[in-house]
Amino acid sequence: MVNSFADEFVSWPDAPFFLRHVMSMNYAGKVYAVLRGIEAATEVGYWPAVLFITYAIFMTLGMYWYTRFWSLEKDIDAYYAAESRHYLQAYNVSVTLGAALYYLVFAILFTVSHTYEHHPVSLSLAIWNAWCCINLVLATPLF
């Protein structure tokens, strides 16, 4: 039987909780970023358009990543387990911090883009990426 936070009235969230949160919320975030980013790319200058399209490509690839490595409940449990056959388990600190860094870079890029273009999608994606970054830092097994 799998223990869950729902089994306890009060408990502190742990790293697997935050990774599950990122996974759950960011599927929708990835779809929004791809569809709205492509649309926004037609409304802005050249460099912001390049940013939107590049981000749309990376977010689409990220959907493959989620599906391949973290899609099932047992995948995330194995990712954090000390004795595990999950392919990424030995590198889970590096992978999780690398993912946080990825979102930090895009939060910065979209913030810079927003200062020049003042496009609302740049602002929403800057905030979204910052939120994902914070949650992935909390999902790092060190915390």
- pLDDT tens string 32-52: 999 999 999 999 999 999 999
> Can you give the residue range of the structural domain that contains 25?
13-138
Number of C-beta neighbours around residue 38 at 10 A: 15
Long-range contacts of 20-24 (CB under 8 A, 24+ apart): 20/76, 21/135, 21/139, 22/132, 22/135, 22/136, 22/139, 23/66, 23/70, 23/76
Assess if residue 7 is contained within a domain: no
120-138 and 15-41 helices cross at what angle (nearest 10)? 160
In a domain, 4, yes or no: no
6 belongs to a structural domain = no
pLDDT band at residue 89, thresholds of 50, 70 and 90?
low
pLDDT tier for residue 9 given thresholds of 50, 70 and 90: low
Quick one: pLDDT at residue 111?
A: 98
The per-residue pLDDT of the chain, averaged, comes to 88
The answer to the question of residue 2 being in a domain is: no
Rounded Cα distance, 95 and 82, in Å = 16
Q: Is residue 108 assigned to a domain? A: yes
The reply to whether 115 falls in a domain is yes
Rg (CA), the chain: 17
Q: In this model, does residue 90 exceed pLDDT 60?
A: no
Predicted local confidence at residue 141, as pLDDT: 82
Domain contains 82: yes
The neighbour count for residue 62, using CB atoms within 10 Å, is 20
Band (pLDDT 50/70/90 cuts) for residue 1 is: very low
* Number of structural domains found in the chain: 1
Structure confidence at residue 8 (pLDDT): 64
- pLDDT at 81 exceeding the cut of 50: yes
Q: What is the mean pLDDT of residues 68-73?
A: 82
